[in-house]
């Protein structure tokens, strides 16, 4: 799926995505705030005084958290509507509109850390973007990113008489899954969004070939709060990981 289509859908989705996370109610509150973010923040570690670039910053939730932890942050996102919200929420932070697959408008070795939370699944070939990330990172700089977990990604819902179950199918088929987010999030008309599946082997090979060293990895696990608040989601995603976070170092 082309970045233009992804941008179009995020533009339509921006306000709802922001609201459900801000009001702490709904699917993005579970999937982002209570599932993906705790793992990624844990792997980011102590960010005090670190210069951080947030790639695909969306409505800017990470920007705010990291700035509150005294990091010096900048953000960039392809969706104008998301950036509008992110700027309103973070008036003192520099946030640019841009497609990270085309260029990163920052100086060489500008950042200690680059963060990319749930954006790389929207990109098929990571070679160019990893090269750009490496350029803006300092020597031994850290790149933390989260993705769909390659296992869960290929799960299919099946029915056997009256029983519904989920099975992994086509793990080795590296292709796009184009979803209609209206159904998933039950909000209103949104549009199609594409996520590109890669096996663990492909992800590791992209990193190694781009000159990154793997230093940590963690599967997402839901927060305690979500056990009561979102019992069904909790049950499903405490049994198998929906996302995972990778921490790599520029060699």
Please report, as ranges, the residues that interact with ligand SAM according to CB under 6 A. Answer: 3, 6, 10, 32, 56-58, 61-62, 77-79, 82, 99-101, 117-119, 122
Q: DSSP characters for 149-194?
A: -HHHHTEEEEEETTEEEEEE--TT---EEEEEHHHHH-SS---EEE
* Minimum CB distance to ligand SAM smaller for 80 or for 228: 80
CB of 116 to ligand SAM, least distance (A): 7
Mapped onto helix, strand or coil, the DSSP state of residue 242 is coil
CB of 20 to ligand SAM, least distance (A): 12
Distance CA 57, CA 86 (A): 8
* Minimum CB distance to ligand SAM smaller for 27 or for 78: 78
CB of 209 to ligand SAM, least distance (A): 20
* Minimum CB distance to ligand SAM smaller for 101 or for 199: 101
The sign of the dihedral angle between the CA atoms of 33, 36, 39, 41 is negative
* Minimum CB distance to ligand SAM smaller for 127 or for 201: 127
CB of 117 to ligand SAM, least distance (A): 3
Closest CA to 203 of 193, 192, 214: 214
How many CB atoms within 10 Å of residue 173?
9
């Amino acid at each position: 799926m082309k970045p233009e289509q992804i941008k179009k859908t995020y533009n339509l989705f921006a306000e709802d995505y922001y609201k459900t996370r801000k009001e702490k109610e709904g699917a993005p509150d579970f999937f982002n705030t209570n599932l993906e973010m705790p793992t990624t923040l844990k792997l980011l570690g102590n960010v005090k005084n670190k210069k951080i670039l947030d790639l695909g910053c969306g409505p800017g939730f990470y920007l705010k958290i990291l700035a509150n932890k005294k990091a010096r942050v900048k953000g960039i996102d392809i969706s104008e509507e998301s950036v509008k919200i992110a700027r309103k929420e973070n008036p003192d932070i520099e946030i640019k509109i841009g497609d990270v697959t085309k260029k990163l408008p920052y100086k060489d070795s500008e950042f200690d850390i680059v963060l990319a939370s749930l954006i790389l699944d929207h990109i098929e070939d990571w070679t160019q973007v990893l090269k750009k990330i490496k350029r803006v990172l300092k020597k031994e700089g850290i790149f933390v990113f989260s993705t769909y977990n390659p296992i869960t990604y290929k799960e299919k819902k099946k029915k056997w008489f009256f029983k519904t179950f989920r099975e992994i199918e086509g793990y080795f088929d590296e292709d796009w899954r184009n979803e209609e987010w209206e159904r998933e999030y039950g909000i209103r008309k949104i549009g199609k969004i594409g996520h590109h599946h890669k096996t663990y082997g492909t992800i590791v090979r992209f990193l190694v070939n781009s000159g990154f060293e793997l230093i940590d990895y963690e599967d997402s696990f839901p927060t305690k709060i979500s056990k009561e608040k979102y019992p069904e989601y909790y049950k499903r995603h405490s049994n198998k990981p929906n996302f995972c976070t990778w921490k790599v170092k520029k060699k």
